[in-house]
Amino acid sequence: MDNRPIGVFDSGLGGLNGLCALRRFLPDENIVYFADSGRLPYGAKSRPQLREMAKQDLRFLSSFNVKAILIACGTLSSNAGDILAGWPIPTVGVLTSSADWMRRLEGSGPIAVIATEASIRSGSYQAALKEACPKREVVAIPCPDFVPLIESGHCSSKDPLVCDAVARYLQPARDAGAEALLLGCTHYDIIKDAISRFLGPDITLVSAAESGAAALCSRLLKEGRTGGSGETRFFTSGDSRSFSEAAALFLGRTAEEVPAGSVPPEPLPVPISLDHRSDAPC
């Protein structure tokens, strides 16, 4: 039994998919969620910037005496894997766990991965998938417009802007006849209906967010370090009211508005309080 919280962080709303998966697998865990919205989008940052930001995000969550950290961010998982692996608190990223998930899929045809520009530029997803699925062709596609669209509220599968972006970016996956598509950025789960509609029902979509959450839960269960009261605490380095409203809508909960405060460069995040209800979707 270990009642210490699990830390989860992402650049914004995408990591909430990982949080929801954690809640499904281990509903009693205490969770501290950090959205580094003040520095969104991560995908446009340089590798040195991302590596320093990874350390800052890890330090912030570590201050809550967390027992483990889910890095619900494909960009940091692919650009700072060594930093995450060497952290004194156990961490699980979404890159290795999602590649392991892809390894289990049947078939021998092409597979595709979509992620941020920084993730694809690093080559980490391509290398992990080639190692996991050596006989398959890997199609890697950067999708820089997805995160800004999602964070600005364009999430519907019928939204013209979303449909246009999906068609522009995912045509190579359709042309290649990809049998499976890895959603390498956790934000992309939010528009997976639009992605599935464009690619058709025969392609398998794999969520990096759910893969990472499942890997972390398996580790905690194996080590006997589960336990808690189901409490969730939210923090953001960006505008607290905007994140609170967006997160509440995503999670189906009632948000308690917190006045936005100034954010130091480190950053020291502003707390967001969301009412936790046992009947909420997550």
Give residue-wise pLDDT tens across range 118-177: 999 999 999 999 999 999 999 999 999 999 999 999 999 999 999 999 999 999 999 999
pLDDT at 265 (0 to 100): 38
Does 262 score more than 80 pLDDT? no
Domains assigned to the chain: 6-93+211-274 (3.40.50.1860), 96-208 (3.40.50.1860)
Give residue-wise pLDDT tens across range 91-101: 999 999 999 99
Of 20, 73, 133, 155, which is the active-site residue?
73
Q: What angle do CA 146, 16, 160 make, to 5 degrees?
A: 30
Q: What is the mean pLDDT of residues 260-276?
A: 41
Confidence of residue 280 (pLDDT cuts 50, 70, 90): very low
Q: Tell me whether residue 185 is one of the annotated catalytic residues.
A: yes
Q: What is the mean pLDDT of residues 36-42?
A: 90
- Per the DSSP assignment, residues forming a β-bridge with 272 are 234
Of 133, 185, 217, 282, which is the active-site residue?
185
Does 259 score more than 60 pLDDT? no
Does 52 score more than 80 pLDDT? yes
Residue 13 vs residue 281, higher pLDDT: 13
Q: What's the Cα-to-Cα distance from 252 to each of 20, 61, 147, 181, 274, rounded to whole Å?
A: 11, 24, 21, 28, 10
Instruction: Tell me how far apart the alpha carbons of residues 178 and 145 are, in angstroms, rounded to a whole number.
Output: 22
Tell me which of 109-118, 168-177, 237-246 is least confident: 237-246
Q: What is the mean pLDDT of residues 95-110?
A: 95
Q: What is the mean pLDDT of residues 250-262?
A: 46
